[in-house]
Amino acid sequence: MTNTAHLLQLSSIGKQFGGLSALSDVSLHIQHREIYGLIGPNGAGKTTLFNVITGLYQPSAGEFQFDGKSYQTCKPHVLAKAGIARTFQNIRLFANLTALENVMIGRHVRTRAGVFGALLHDRTTRNEERAITERARELLYYVGIEKPARTLAKHLSYGEQRRLEIARALATDPLLLALDEPAAGMNATETASLKTLLQTIRNSGITVLLIEHDVKLIMGLCDRVAVLDYGKKIAEGVPEEVRKDPAVIAAYLGAEPEAHTSGFAPLASLSPLAGEDPGERVVDNV
Amino acid sequence: MKLNSKSKSLLVALAIGLLLIPFVTDTLLGRGWVRIVDFAMLYIMLALGLNIVVGFAGLLDLGYIAFFGVGAYCYALAGSPHLALAFPMIFPNGVHLSFWVILPLAALLAGGFGVLLGAPTLRLRGDYLAIVTLGFGEIIRIFLNNLNAPVNLTNGPQGISRIDPVSLADVRLSVTQEIFGISLPSVHLYFYLFLAFTVLVIFASQRLEKSRIGRAWMAIREDEVAASAMGINTRNLKLLAFAMGAMFGGASGALFAGFQGFVSPESFSLMESIMVLCMVVLGGMGNIAGVILGGVLLAVLPEVLRHSVVPLQQALFGKMIVDPESLRMLLFGGALIVMMLYRPAGLLPSRVRRRELDTDEVVETV
Ligand SMILES: Nc1ncnc2c1ncn2[C@@H]1O[C@H](COP(=O)(O)OP(=O)(O)O)[C@@H](O)[C@H]1O
Ligand SMILES: [Mg+2]
């Protein structure tokens, strides 16, 4: 099973919540420098999968390999250090800290200063602090936050908050950037600039794992897509194939009665009839 | 961090002002007030220590005074004849370590107790954490109260007396000293000692706040899950916050014991913990200047009442109707309610809340 060519490899991951099987027997692998999409109806287990690979949940079964190491139960901060960074479906910024501080905190895991460094404020610590601040400013610029760096995170607009979360995640120097519905609540312009940002990030050598409901975004961006339904992987492959897969169509049609309550609208475009926009599609090698 | 000449002269003026406090207080109000100011400084140090735990890391601690107690008893045991009672063979004269040995010892011991409190409460938050820390504070006090048997370690409720006064390089702070022809009574000497330590604690708090460690604490305060997902080892950093706060508490406890010459468990009651917490909250949680202001107000207020209420009532009614202690609690409770209604963020709200007001992009001096 060990294949170091793959950045992340999940082997039969399962997660139970009491009687509920949120994930069962999910295996998949993500290659280096890939944009990998994870889709599925609400409640399919996508966020749960993120929580498992970032150490917030311990899997009930299976294990995963990341960057050549095996993990089964592992603390979140260890996985962050190993190179997995994430954003949250319900934005979880440090709301009362500034945009800059939020990103600076992302540098924590790649820097060293301890209590003595803080108290003595020696040359090494000062240099490190300067580097942290500089890098954080760069990242704010990189994700396109134009408001002053001292603005409190909670005072940024919704789209900016989502991008700030990405900047904070990037500050940890990740190998894998896992984004949980980053376009949720964004308007068309914001989504378009997010798409450009994600492409830039991938081109810089970072692998992206993306949960998204916006099918146009998924189709135009992802190299490969996996579909979860009721905790099971029901399809995987290049976007065009997955979208024609009868099991996938059935899963989404089956979810139709919930349409009004669960933000179904963008998913409808998954049917072969909708979402035609070949100009948006980026054909990628890898 | 270069100072221009204006802020330099401001700093010098501030320093001179601080150094003159005991003389001004002495002439205007009397010797007793210098002592009160000395106690206020101890409270400021305590409040700043608690601010690390509550204000920076967001861990509600209702038993903080226990660390003050641990520091005070550490000084009392290591700097008094008391241990001769328990171990006459080993310490026939008691133990009399130097101040410079006892102080770090007290801080380290209190820090150890901080970790001891922190370890079992790592998974607790908010109300649950408050209850456990409250219990911890009481446990320490009850231990101090009862550890006079089988071995008389703490002398129980009577407390330990005849504690060595602080002496720095053979200068005893308990007697009046002549320096440059100026005669400095004991309370003045302690004032300068406490001033030096308070400045040190303020300095340390500021540096911690603006450091990688301080930011990690604030991240935990804001969102523990997000903090851990960003690679912060929340367990270690929470323990560190407890330990650092406890060390400040322990050090000020040692200063307290040396100053007072006597310690007993009743100085470390729950009420004291609540008092210190109120200083932090009243002034503005997380904001160092606010915490100092809170400390000064709450340490000096009861004394002002004590000295004004009795004569006032005597003059008005010819007798005392409300004793100052009850009035203090009444005013105090009232003030807290008013505060929560009108200034929930404290008298001097924390720096981020202030910072959002000035929008100009000044280059950060982080
Ligand atoms: N902490 C939890 N405790 C109990 N059930 C949970 C928990 N987290 C998720 N679930 C359940 O697991 C299922 C999958 O949820 P989730 O992963 O959030 O779905 P998605 O992100 O695909 O919308 C849902 O039925 C949800 O209710
Ligand atoms: Mg989800």
pLDDT band at B344 (very low <50, low <70, confident <90, very high): confident
- Nearest Cα residue to atom 12 of ligand 1: A22
Low-confidence stretches of chain A (pLDDT < 50) are 1-3, 256-286
CA gap B327, B305 in Å, rounded = 8
* CATH 3.40.50.300 given to domain A1-83+174-248: yes
Assess whether the C-beta atom of A23 lies below 6 angstroms from ligand 1: no
- Nearest Cα residue to atom 17 of ligand 1: A45
DSSP count for chain B of H helices, then E strands: 14, 6
How many C-beta neighbours within 10 Å does residue B122 have? 15
pLDDT digits (tens, 9 = 90+) for B25-64: 888 888 888 999 999 999 999 999 999 999 999 999 999 9
Question: Does the residue B126 lie in any domain?
Answer: yes
- Nearest Cα residue to atom 5 of ligand 1: A17
List of chain B residues whose C-beta atoms are within 8 Å of the C-beta of residue A114: 212-213
CA gap B182, B159 in Å, rounded = 36
pLDDT score of B32: 84
List of chain B residues whose C-beta atoms are within 8 Å of the C-beta of residue A167: none
Q: A137 at the B interface (CB within 8 A)?
A: no
pLDDT score of A182: 95
pLDDT digits (tens, 9 = 90+) for B129-175: 999 999 999 999 999 999 988 889 999 999 999 999 998 887 788 87
Residue B41, token pair as written in the block? 């400084």
Which residue among B204, B222, B353 places its CB closest to the CB of A94?
A: B222
- Nearest Cα residue to atom 10 of ligand 1: A22
CA gap B351, B218 in Å, rounded = 12
Question: Does the residue B329 lie in any domain?
Answer: no
Question: Does the residue B195 lie in any domain?
Answer: yes
**Ligand 1 test: best mutation among A16, A17, A230, most atoms within 8 Å of CB?**
A17
Question: Does the residue B252 lie in any domain?
Answer: yes
**Which ligand is located closest to the Cα atom of residue A48?**
1
Contact (CB<8Å) B219/A105: yes
Answer yes or no: is pLDDT of B363 > 80: no
pLDDT digits (tens, 9 = 90+) for B169-179: 877 888 787 78
pLDDT score of B124: 87
Domain limits at B37?
A: 22-267
The answer to whether A202 and A137 have CB atoms below 8 angstroms apart is no
pLDDT score of B361: 39
Which residue among B207, B213, B230 places its CB closest to the CB of A121?
A: B207
pLDDT score of B234: 96
Domain count for chain B: 1
Answer yes or no: is pLDDT of B90 > 60: yes
Higher-pLDDT residue of B364 and B45 is: B45
Structural domain boundaries of chain A? 1-83+174-248, 95-172
Q: B204 at the A interface (CB within 8 A)?
A: yes
Closest residue on chain A to B351 (Cα): A97
Assess whether the C-beta atom of A48 lies below 6 angstroms from ligand 1: yes
Question: Does the residue B8 lie in any domain?
Answer: no
Q: What is the DSSP string of A126-181?
A: HHHHHHHHHHHHHHHHHHT--S-TTSBGGGS-HHHHHHHHHHHHHTT--SEEEEES
List of chain B residues whose C-beta atoms are within 8 Å of the C-beta of residue A111: 212
pLDDT score of A255: 52
CA gap B37, A207 in Å, rounded = 61
